A and B are shown apart, each in its own frame.
Chain A
Amino acid sequence: MTYTVAADAQRDGRDPAVHAAGCAHCGARVTEGARFCCTGCAGAHELIGRLGLDAYYDQRPTRIDAPVSDAVPVDPTAFCRVDGEEASVDLVVDGLHCAACVWLIETALGRDPDMLEARLNATSRRLRLRWRGPAARAAALADLVRRLGYRVAPLVPGAAARLADDEERFLLRCLAVAGFAAANVMMLSLAVWAGGGSGATGMGPATRDLLHFVSAAIALPALLYAARPFLRSALGALRHGRSNMDVPIVIGVTLTAGISLAQAVQSGLHAYFESALMLVFFLLVGRYVERRARGRARSAASHLLSLAGSVATVETAGGALRAVTPAQLVVGDVLRLATGERLVADGILLEGTTRIDNAVVTGESSPAAVVAGDLMHAGAINMGPPVRVRISAVGESTLLAQMARLLEAAEQGRSRYVSMADRISRWYAPAIHAIALATFAFWYFGNGVDVSAAILTAVAVLIVTCPCALALAQPAVATAVVGRLARQGILVISPTALERLGAIDTVVFDKTGTLTVGKPILLDDATRSDAALEMAASLAANSRHPLARALCAAVPDVRPADGVVELPGEGLACAAVRLGSRRFCAVAEDSADDQAELWLTRPDAPPVRLAFADALRPGAREAVAALKARGIDVMLVSGDRAAAVERMAAQTGIDDRRAEVPPEGKLALVEALAARGRHVLMVGDGINDAPALAAAHASLSPGDATDVATAAADAIFQGRSLMAVVAAVDLAQRAARAMRVNLRLALIYNLVAVPVAVLGWLTPPIAAAAMSSSSLLVVLNAVRLGREEGRER
């Protein structure tokens, strides 16, 4: 790869002016005189400078989230498509914050003369690469993106995601057809309305009939095409013996179109084609916008899924290494598991010893030691030296798959939840049909008008009550709020999540990875000198070991020491200085403290102990307090040992806590709470939380949670702060209130409109005006909720 090398002097000359206050890359606070907050930033900044892309810093906000420095290099070669001399691959990129990131990645990759296409979709975060040369180049290309400070993974194409994309395009096509037809038919209808009177200025019946027939010619095919989303959903509901909002919509549209056609044929006065089309158009707008907001959340979630670990390195018979997808693994394969890598299938450790982080499987916060012959479950992260693992179970028989089955069972319970609008539609359709029937009876039997006039009046009732505003009431609020939550980093996946989230009265937190960061953090120690810490960090900067990285993260401006030798599983050595395990540093055993630790030994100085523990997530204490202040009960349920749970509960102020709870126990607890009439919000990240997440009334997962957990959750919050939970609950409660207001508005509209129709005063212009104004009203009420944020800032 060829890079243009920028003059260092020029680069250094501009930095202080732009970033006087903080880290030269991410803008975070740094200690006096330091240029970078962490090694990740230093690496990314150096690379950007070397590529001559400093313009990046002028284009983006001065302060960004620190780049992802703990990403493990991935080899997407197994996912490449080869076509003759060209190869291409789709990747997902995490950590984008603005358009400048897109530019940076595309331009950096485009520097490669063999690169044919490097296109990053800012919406779906997919990076499409096409280049001349072997597929194996993919590893280097992906690594370039990683070193720029982004997390990157091959895109695992899910059938569900593709289906959602197709569905979105289908809705947009329907929307376009409905919009085109509605505009044209409205144009013709206006002419009919304007010239409706007879006489010298009026329109002759021949002209009116012609306009009605042209309207019918445009409207009927367009309705057949554009109303399909509603027809499908209504038929699906009816087939299962249920009713939803789409049933009265389909009945209303069909009747409106039918009676209008009959009027056109009979040379009647009133045809309602434009009302039917506008109804479909409005509803499609609402549906499309809502779909798009949720589709983005879903694609973001599936990306997190891809990023969770999608490539495994397998030893072939000849001893060569090959990158494969988890689906290609078979029992008996020998896997190389690097330090910090996640195991994708169950396996048995072949030789040596290591420590694994089982947090996502069991909730245990401190790494567990494993020796040769021990079984390790899918989802475990290797914290020790690189090891070899023989695969003992794949796919359906892994622990992961068993957990997924538990999850499925729990999820079925929740899919029975019926949204507010659908509950209303259950009695709405029978009610308006009864009113229509009564109207017919009133005119035909009571007042003795002829059959066709009575039918026309009855149908007018159905036309005016066609539930446009009612059907928009909820999606409009949901779209506004989902968009606002997305800007705060909370991605709502489930369509009814907001309604359920707004009703919760109990929050159950998982500990490891949810209430805590799930990563080791260096503990403060007053007896430790800064010089020792800096020396330890300078050694640690050479290693990817999780504890070494935690150490570097705790020390600003680390200068990696030269001549450091890493002894996998033991420690780091630089001349006479050693950093590593107690045994490696030859420190005598003294206590049975099972905290994670590193020791630093130097000549002529006593050994220094560096202890690590899982730290609270930022905002955890505030979030718990805020939830309590809102009258919501808070519980802590963890699979971890009692001592660790007690410590965290005390720190956050949670009184109600349970330790050493297995996944089934969490599920049982949530179900028991639900049986007592509580509406539980489960917040968790691990595989062991997934069944409870699925069973709870509503559920939230952090963005770095395991794929099973994110699949089970209603919404995902990105970023580290737990205050996102409070924000989500608050906004959901207000959304639920706004939905109720909107539904009431829509019903009030009907209370006014129905008498007009019953008395036979309804004409097409009145129907069109009433329908549009009621729809606009509910949409505006929803938009108000989405826009308030502008004033808050």
Chain B
Amino acid sequence: MNAMFFLLPIAVLLGGAALAAFLWALRAGQFDDLEGDGSRILFDELPSGSRRDRS
């Protein structure tokens, strides 16, 4: 029984952390382009030309 007083809050907090991470990602626009970003990593950046500013 005593163990539950630690385990329950820990479980809820861990779940809450995951929820917060998801909501942050949503707000940061990471779910705006599910198709493009998925395939974007498959393309090499060409050596010449300027870098994109990703700020």
B-binding residues in A (CB < 8 A): 4, 52-53, 55, 59, 99-100, 102-103, 106-107, 110-113, 115-124, 130, 169, 172-173, 176-177, 180, 183-184, 187-188, 206-207, 210, 214, 218
Closest to B25 in A: A176
A-binding residues in B (CB < 8 A): 1, 4, 8, 11-12, 15-16, 18-19, 22-23, 26, 31-36, 39-40, 42-46, 48-54
**Which interface residue of B4, B36, B44, B48 has the most chain A CB atoms within 10 A?**
B36
The answer on a CB contact under 8 Å between B43 and A122 is: no
The answer on a CB contact under 8 Å between A207 and B18 is: no
Given contacts A184-B11, A187-B11, contact A123 B26 (CB under 8 A): no
The answer on a CB contact under 8 Å between B52 and A122 is: no
Given contacts A99-B36, A124-B33, A180-B16, contact A173 B26 (CB under 8 A): yes
Closest to B37 in A: A122
Other 7 A-B pairs with CB < 8 A, given A99-B39, A117-B54, A119-B52: A102-B36, A106-B52, A112-B50, A113-B50, A184-B11, A206-B1, A214-B8
Q: Which residues of A contact B15 (CB under 8 A)?
A: 180, 183-184
Q: Which residues of B contact A52 (CB under 8 A)?
A: 46, 48
The answer on a CB contact under 8 Å between B50 and A110 is: yes
The answer on a CB contact under 8 Å between A184 and B12 is: yes
Cβ-closest 9 pairs across A and B: A122-B36, A99-B39, A180-B19, A121-B33, A111-B49, A103-B43, A122-B35, A116-B53, A123-B33
The answer on a CB contact under 8 Å between B18 and A180 is: yes
Q: Which residues of B contact A102 (CB under 8 A)?
A: 36, 39-40
| Number of inter-chain CB pairs below 8 Å | 85
The CA-CA distance from A641 to B40 in the complex, in Å, is 51
Q: Which residues of A contact B22 (CB under 8 A)?
A: 176
Nearest CB in chain A: distance from B14 CB, A: 9
Q: Which residues of A contact B16 (CB under 8 A)?
A: 180
Nearest CB in chain B: distance from A779 CB, A: 20
Q: Which residues of B contact A103 (CB under 8 A)?
A: 40, 43
Q: Which residues of A contact B52 (CB under 8 A)?
A: 106, 110, 115, 117-119
Q: Which residues of B contact A99 (CB under 8 A)?
A: 35-36, 39-40, 42-43
The answer on a CB contact under 8 Å between B43 and A111 is: no
The CA-CA distance from A172 to B40 in the complex, in Å, is 24
The CA-CA distance from A121 to B4 in the complex, in Å, is 47
**Which interface residue of B15, B42, B49 has the most chain A CB atoms within 10 A?**
B49
The answer on a CB contact under 8 Å between A218 and B26 is: no
Given contacts A103-B43, A119-B52, contact A207 B36 (CB under 8 A): no
The CA-CA distance from A210 to B19 in the complex, in Å, is 24
Q: Which residues of B contact A121 (CB under 8 A)?
A: 32-33, 36
